Amino acid sequence: MGLFGKIIGALKKTKDNISSKLSALFAKGLGDDFYDELEEILISADISVTTAEDIVEQIREEAKKEKLKDREYVIDLLKDVIEDTLLQAEQPKIEYPAVIMLVGVNGVGKTTTIGKLANYFVREKKSVTLAAADTFRAAAADQLTVWAERAKVRIVKHEEGSDPSAVVYDAIASAKAKKTDVVIVDTAGRLHVKANLMEELKKMDRVVGRDYPEAHFYKFLVLDATTGQNALSQARIFDEAVDLDGIVLTKLDGTAKGGFVVSLCGELQIPVVFVGTGEKLDDLQPFDAEEFTEGIL
């Protein structure tokens, strides 16, 4: 299965959730209740009320301007508007040397994602070092070591309970000495109510800026797609703490509510950069707005 097929397949539950509703709606024609019902369908896929209202208003205005009466044209218009919404947040182009810090709460699949991300860069012919800076959770470094071995990349780690920023410092020093292309930093699954853990994130942020200013620094939030709208509040909090550059979605194949991604890009202006499409090491794909739109409609 190609990359396109993987993303389409991962979105099957979301598509199944709304496609029959859309078919029934478009079969009725473009009557007075059409736009209200369309908004309800979008919200049922976990597109936020604000974003759904905005999408429907754009479609209403365009349909009126173009005097559209054929439902097929309106379907195409819906796809165009959703794709444009996804593209509102500009995708970061990863340049090298790069430091990528992954943040996120416990249970979203962050450690697994780091292994897949390392494998992705190895496939792109880049050298990779992992920094095991989640020193709070028992066995976190051991789990990351397993992924490092699977992806065949180096790892820098300290003892459990040590200073996470010291791990980042050592990983940077090692990467600079070996001219490594990418350093990927694991961080503790910091619950957003724990202010001290957020401060630790900011400290690691400062270490990279101070000790590796020549590197291109990216901060990606890992989000569990099955949490739907709750992911938006997580994204807001982490964005305030570290100024996010992008989002990596996991477990997209396990949700029927994939529409929240449209709200992430439209409301928060944070781009989705990678999507987890399954359990295998190579089941991580760069995000593509056109493919995503095709997958949900």
Confidence label for 5 from pLDDT (cuts 50, 70 and 90): low
Return phi, psi of residue 248, to 5°. Answer: -110, 120
Residue with tokens 């071995």: 149
- Say if residue 253 carries a ligand binding annotation: yes
Closest by CA to 289, choosing from 97, 11, 94, 2, is 11
- Alpha carbons 51 and 39: distance in angstroms, whole number: 9
Percent of the chain with pLDDT over 70: 90
Q: Annotation-wise, does 163 bind a ligand?
A: no
* Domain 98-244 superfamily per CATH: P-loop containing nucleotide triphosphate hydrolases (3.40.50.300)
105 assigned ligand-binding residue: yes
219 is in an annotated binding site: no
7: pLDDT confidence band, cut at 50, 70 and 90?
low
Domain limits of the chain?
98-244
Radius of gyration (C-alpha) of the chain in whole angstroms: 21
**Res 191 pLDDT > 70:** no
Confidence of residue 3 (pLDDT cuts 50, 70, 90): very low
- Please indicate if the annotation marks 278 as binding a ligand: no
Q: State yes or no: pLDDT of 2 exceeds 80.
A: no
pLDDT tens per residue across span 241-252:
889 999 999 887
Exposure of 154 by Cβ count < 10 A (0-12 exposed, 13-18 middle, 19+ buried)? middle
261-266 mean pLDDT: 90
Quick check: bond before 97 cis, omega within 30?
yes
**293 pLDDT higher than 90:** no
Q: Is 42 annotated as a binding residue?
A: no
Tokens encoding 204: 């690691």
Say whether 123 counts as a known binding-site residue.
no
Average predicted confidence (pLDDT) for the chain: 87
* Residue 86 annotated as lining a ligand binding site: no
User: Has residue 99 got a pLDDT over 50?
Assistant: yes
Measured in degrees and rounded to the nearest 5, phi and psi for residue 257 equal -120, 40
* Tens-digit pLDDT profile for residues 52-68: 999 999 988 888 887 76
What is the pLDDT, as a whole number, of residue 156? Answer: 98
Please write the tens of the pLDDT for every residue from 128-150. 999 999 988 878 899 999 999 99
Tell whether 110 is in a known binding site. yes
pLDDT of 194 reads 64
Give the distance between the most distant pair of CA atoms in the chain. 67
What is the pTM (predicted TM-score) of this model?
0.89
Q: With H, G, I as helix, E, B as strand and everything else as coil, classify residue 64.
A: helix
Residue 107 counted as an annotated binding residue: yes
Whole-number pLDDT of residue 231: 86
Listed ranges 35-39, 60-64, 277-281; the one with the highest mean pLDDT? 35-39
**What pLDDT does residue 1 have?**
40
Return d(Cα 156, Cα 183) in angstroms, integer.
10
Within 13 A of 290's CA, how many CA atoms are on the CB side? 2
Does the annotation place 109 within a ligand binding site?
Answer: yes
188 assigned to a ligand binding site: yes
